[in-house]
Structure 1
Amino acid sequence: MKIKNVFFSKGFSAFYFDDQMAIKVGAQQDGFVYCGSPLTQGFSAIRQSGECISITLELEDGQLAYGDCAAVQYSGAAGRDPLFAASRFIPILEKELKPLIIGLDVGSFRDSTKWLDGFCNHPNLAHAAIHYGVSQALLDASAKASRTSMFETVCREWSLPLNSDPLALFGQSGDDRYAAVDKMILKGISALPHGLINNVPKKLGEEGGKLAEYVSWLSHRIRTLRADASYHPTLHIDVYGTIGLIFDNDPDRIADYLMLLEERADPFQLYIEGPADAGSKQGQIALLKLIRQALKSRGSSVKIVADEWCNTFTDVVEFADAECCDMVQIKTPDLGGLHNTIEAVLACKARGIEAYQGGTCNETDISARACLHAAIATRPERLLVKPGMGFDEGMTITANEMNRVRSCLASRIVREAA
């Protein structure tokens, strides 16, 4: 089956682009926006509207396949690709990608992604958001060409078993980190709340006191609101390197503070994402390893999650091989083609490192569904509920798609067994 035509359109993503650097150093909020000038190249404001480019592939038989080019909320931070502006890239896609993609055979998703990988060093088509959206459309096209689901396409082409077990879902609260937790508890999410601790004065505290109080509240709130003791979620908090800021990236001081959080989290397992930011990939690997070793020497069970500076498939493998963390966030838009996410999850599992298939609030319903299909095939230990920061909307998209896939698969397994 070949691609007959391709169409590009500007769209909205489910959140916003934020200048992480400006926020971390204390940019003041005015309602929903931030005051002051941006610090990261490409930004016209500290917070600006999120956007995407929707790709529609028309196949020879008239079927349509979809993908959305989307980039992370904190574009341009920690080695990531710069801000993705639809108005800039649509003319480039029309002129340079469209002639190349028409006529492409989509019978095999893996084969078509090899063609896509050829643009990794292209001067105008190398942005990860482009590869991300095109790969989603190619996966959808391959599935439709074979009259099957995207999930089954991945399982078939990577020789993975069909598994209808549910995935552990992880909710993100955004700045509404109290009310969102209540929502997550009511809906029985497996891991919560993300927390968005991206600022020292207002969210972490100059000595870490505000986050410590929040973790105590989290533990108490879960025990108060849960229907019964069998609901025992994991606490997973992203701190964007701010703990390192207040402790001068000293691994021993960071470990001591994380043990305080561990006491506050009891009886729930605590994961801390991005405790410090060393400013480079190799520096980050070395610093996380020292923090992890310091925790182990203290008998701590706190788990470290790598995020910053771990942007590509190669990065994921390097972090996993270095054993500098307990879990790696596989930030799907940053890895570009969705096949890289598939390979990254499998690489983590092969190395005994927990895989967290993440992404960003700044995605779309199309990208979230495609990611779900990849995840239910590869079985990461944690899957981000996305898009958006409202939780309920992302839960509707991610969980409902998962349950649709599971019900169809379970029915098929029963029929084949009979």
Structure 2
Amino acid sequence: MRIKEAIAAKGMGGYYFDDQAAIKMGAVQDGFIYRGKPVTPGFSAIRQKGESILIMLRLEDGQVAFGDCAAVQYSGVGGREPIFLAEDYISLVEKEVFPRLKGLELSSFRELAAQFDGMKQANGRPLHTAIRYGITQALLDAVAKSRHQTMAEVIAEEYGTAIAEKPIPIFAQTGDERYLNADKCIIKRADVLPHGLINCRSKLGKEGELLLEYVEWLKDRVLDQGEDDYRPALHLDVYGTIGQLFNDDIQAVGSYLGQLAEKAFPLQLKVEGPLDLGSKEGQITALKQLRQELAAKKIPVQIVADEWCNTLEDIKEFTDAQACDVVQIKTPDLGGINNSIEAVLYAKKHGMGAYLGGTCNETEYSAKICVHIALATQPDQILAKPGLGVDEGFMITYNEMHRTLALLKSAS
């Protein structure tokens, strides 16, 4: 089976592009917008609409494969690629990428993904990670359609893995509606919640008291509203703000995490990005020291790496250093989805927790394709996406997972 035609269209992301640097510097929120000027290159406002490029590959038999080029909410910081605006990149996709796709024989997904993930532009530069992300999604879908298989089956066959027989735990994120949307997570029995979007110090409180109060409220809410057999893990993303509060003092940060753990008990607590040291080397060193501090004091908090842990090589470095308990595999940041597959497998092989994440700013197609990656590689949890409203992203992720599991069971 060959690719007959490649088509592109400008699309939306499931959320917004936010200038994280400006927000962390204290940008004032007014309704849903932020006042002030952006500071990260490429941004025209501190908050602007999320964008994507929609990829469609028409096959010889008339079937159409889909993939969406999308980038993370906080683009341009933490070692990530610049903001991805469709108008800036669609011509490049059509003029430089599509000619290589037309007439291509759909043989091995793994080989094709490596080829396009490593493709260079005419100027010698690599393709933006968002482009590599969307093109490889479409290639996986195309290979699966050519074989009349699910995408999970293609991955499992080519990477030698076993497909999960039960659902992968789903992590639902509340966004700024961390109270109202936490109730939604509990009603839907999300396995992991709430993320919380703790992206500026004002959400911690002057001495961290607001976050302590929130964790205690959240624990009580789960115990009060959830059934007796419902004990989700609590996973907070704090974007380095705890480190900011305590001037990156490892012992002080560790003590504060201990207080959070006490408030969360008996629920498991994971904290993502407690520190942000501004470089990969600094981040690895600091998180490893923090992890050792927690172990020495027997504080039951799992550390999750995100900032500066962007590429497959970064993930390997954080894993090899045992700098954290869990790595977030932020799928758009890794470029080709082949890298996300390999990242999950590498983390698991080396005893590292694997969180197949991504961004609220993705699309319904990229979210569904990530479900197939999860079923074929079995990470510890997968992010419900896109969006931050809980309902839509959770539904897309949950339904694609259960739909695929039912199809696979019926065929066995």
Q: What TM-score comes out, normalization by structure 1 length?
A: 0.97
Q: Which residue of 1 aligns with 2:109?
A: 109
The alignment status of 1:322 with 2:355, answered yes or no, reads no
Which residue in 2 is equivalent to 1:281?
280
- Structure-2 residue corresponding to 1:226: 226
Counterpart of 1:81? 81
Cα deviation, residue 409, structure 1: 1.4
Query: How far apart, in 1, do the equivalents of 2:284 and 2:122 lie?
Result: 29
Report Cα offsets for 1:241-273 as digits up to 9, x if no partner.
000001111111100000010111111010000
2:100 paired with 1:100: yes
Amino acid at match of 1:143: A
**Aligned pairs (5 A) from 1:203-242:** 203-227=203-227, 229-242=228-241
Aligned 8 A contact 2:163 2:378 in 1: no
Equivalent residue, structure 1, for 2:7: 7
CA distance in 2, matches of 1:333, 1:29: 27
- Alignment partner of 2:334: what SS? coil
Q: Note if contact 1:105-1:112 (Cα within 8 Å) is conserved in structure 2.
A: no
Secondary structure of the equivalent of 1:176? coil
Q: Distance in 2 between matches of 1:226 and 1:277?
A: 34
> How far 1:120 sits from its partner (Å)?
5.4
More deviation, 404-413/6-15? 404-413
1:73-93 Cα deviation digits (max 9, x unpaired)? 000010000000100111111
Q: For 1:165 and 1:122, how far apart are their aligned partners in 2?
A: 45
Partner Cα distance (2:375, 2:122) in 1: 32
Q: Is the 8 A contact 1:107 1:146 kept in 2?
A: no
**Conservation of the 8 A alpha-carbon contact between 2:163 and 2:377:** no
The equivalent of 1:197 in structure 2 is 198
How far is 1:72 from its partner? 0.1
Give percent identity, aligned residues only. 53
Tell me, in whole angstroms, the C-alpha distance in 2 between the residues paired with 1:261 and 1:93.
46
Give the counterpart letter for 1:39 in structure 2.
Answer: V
Say which SS state the counterpart of residue 371 (structure 1) adopts: helix
Q: Find the aligned partners of 2:310 and 2:122 in 1 and give their Cα distance.
A: 19
Deviates more, 1:90-99 or 1:215-224: 90-99
Contact 1:169–1:190 at 8 Å: present in 2 too? yes
Aligned CA RMSD, in angstroms, stands at 1.0
1:320-353 CA-to-partner distances (Å, cap 9, x unmatched) read 1100100000000000101100000000000001
8 Å contact from structure 2 (residues 117, 335) kept in 1: no
| Cα distance in 1, alignment partners of residues 355 and 364 from structure 2 | 19
Letter in 2 for 1:355: A
Q: Does structure 1 residue 136 correspond to structure 2 residue 118?
A: no
Question: Structure 1 residues 254-263 or 104-113, which shifts more?
Answer: 104-113
SS in 2 for 1:334: helix
CA contact (8 A) 2:207 2:245 kept: yes
Q: What is the TM-score normalised by the length of structure 2? A: 0.98
Query: C-alpha separation between the residues in 1 aligned to 2:164 and 2:237?
Result: 30
Distance 1:253 1:122, change over 3 A: farther
Instruction: Find the counterpart in structure 2 of residue 126 from structure 1.
Output: 127
| Distance in 1 between residues matched to 2:257 and 2:121, nearest whole Å | 41
Which segment drifts farther, 121-130 or 382-391? 121-130
Which 10-residue stretch deviates more, 104-113 or 114-123? 114-123
TM superposition shift of 1:412: 2.3
Secondary structure of the residue aligned to 2:299 is coil
How does 1:4-403 map onto structure 2 within 5 Å?
Answer: 4-119=4-119, 123=123, 126-201=127-202, 203-227=203-227, 229-403=228-402
CA distance in 2, matches of 1:89, 1:190: 37
Distance 1:341 1:193 in 2: 23
Q: Is the 8 A contact 1:107 1:145 kept in 2?
A: no
Following superposition, the deviation at residue 163 of structure 1 comes to 2.6
**SS state at 1:289 partner:** helix
SS state of the match for residue 7, structure 2?
strand
Distance 1:108 1:184 in 2: 39
Mapped to 2, the partners of 1:38 and 1:79 lie a distance apart of 18
Contact 2:66-2:138 within 8 A present in 1 as well: yes
Q: State how many pairs are aligned.
A: 411
Partner letter of residue 129 of structure 2?
A
Paired residue type of 1:173 = T
CA contact (8 A) 2:186 2:222 kept: yes
| Deviating more after overlay: 37-46 vs 112-121 | 112-121
Letter paired with 1:270 = L
Could you list the structure 1 runs, at least 4 aligned residues long, displaced by more than 3 angstroms after superposition: 120-125
Q: What is residue 416 of structure 1 aligned with on the other side?
A: none
Indicate if the aligned counterparts of 2:28 and 2:35 stay in contact, CA closer than 8 A: yes
Instruction: Assess, with a 3 A threshold, how the Cα gap between structure 1 residues 286 and 112 changes in structure 2: closer, same or farther.
Output: same
Q: Distance in 2 between matches of 1:289 and 1:66?
A: 40
Closer, same or farther: CA 33–345 of 1 in aligned 2, 3 Å: same
Partner secondary structure for residue 193 of structure 1: strand
Note the residue ranges of structure 1 that are not aligned, 5 or more in a row: 414-418
Contact 2:193 2:233 in 1 (8 A): yes
Letter in 2 for 1:187: K
Q: Displacement of 1:25 after TM fit?
A: 1.3
State the 1:95 CA deviation.
Answer: 1.3
Distance, in Å, in 1 between the alignment partners of 2:392 and 2:114 is 34
**Paired residue type of 1:49:** K
